[in-house]
Amino acid sequence: SGLTLAAGVALARCLYWQGRYDEAWDCLQTESTPASGNAHAAAWRAMRSRIAAARGLVEEAIVEAAFARDIAGARGDARQLALAHYATALVQLAVGDLDQAGAAAARAVREARRAHHLMLGACARLLYAEVARRSGRRAAAARIALRFA
């Protein structure tokens, strides 16, 4: 059900932030893949993408992020789109594609703003700052980071 899926995503997110990636992955193992019509399907895919990237499963992370973007785009849900673009940015950063990571982070910021999701917007901005720093644009990264000081 949708509630069970949402609870699994929430628990996985907590475990992810604790660095307990295998346990987080286990939280998102279901007997069947959630239908794309499920309101939480894109968030489930985006979280799987982030955890897969943290576990070094880059190909799976890319596939899950693409599914998350497709599902969220079809639904037109700004919050889910922000989550999907944020996951995409993390994966692209992990593989070293800074241009794609920056573009995805910028889209995540835009969608988080549209969804009025302040925390996700802040995380996406910090991710964008990290992309700028790794790209050698330290002044831009510092400007973004100073907005949080």
The per-residue pLDDT for 39 is 80
Half-sphere exposure of 39 (CA within 13 A, CB side): 7
CB 16 within 8 A of CB 50: yes
3-state secondary structure of 2: helix
The per-residue pLDDT for 31 is 59
Query: How far is residue 39's CA from residue 98's CA, in Å, rounded to a whole number?
Result: 31
Q: Looking at the whole model, is its pTM more than 0.75?
A: yes
The per-residue pLDDT for 32 is 65
The per-residue pLDDT for 132 is 96
User: SS3 for 3-24, per residue?
Assistant: HHHHHHHHHHHHHHHCCCHHHH
The per-residue pLDDT for 110 is 97
The position carrying tokens 């990636």 is 21
Query: How far is residue 2's CA from residue 60's CA, in Å, rounded to a whole number?
Result: 23
Query: What does the pLDDT profile of the chain (149 residues) look like in tens digits?
Result: 678 888 889 999 999 999 999 999 998 987 567 777 788 899 999 999 999 999 999 999 999 999 999 999 999 999 999 999 999 999 999 999 999 999 999 999 999 999 999 999 999 999 999 999 999 999 999 999 888 87
Q: How many CB atoms lie within 10 A of CB 18?
A: 10
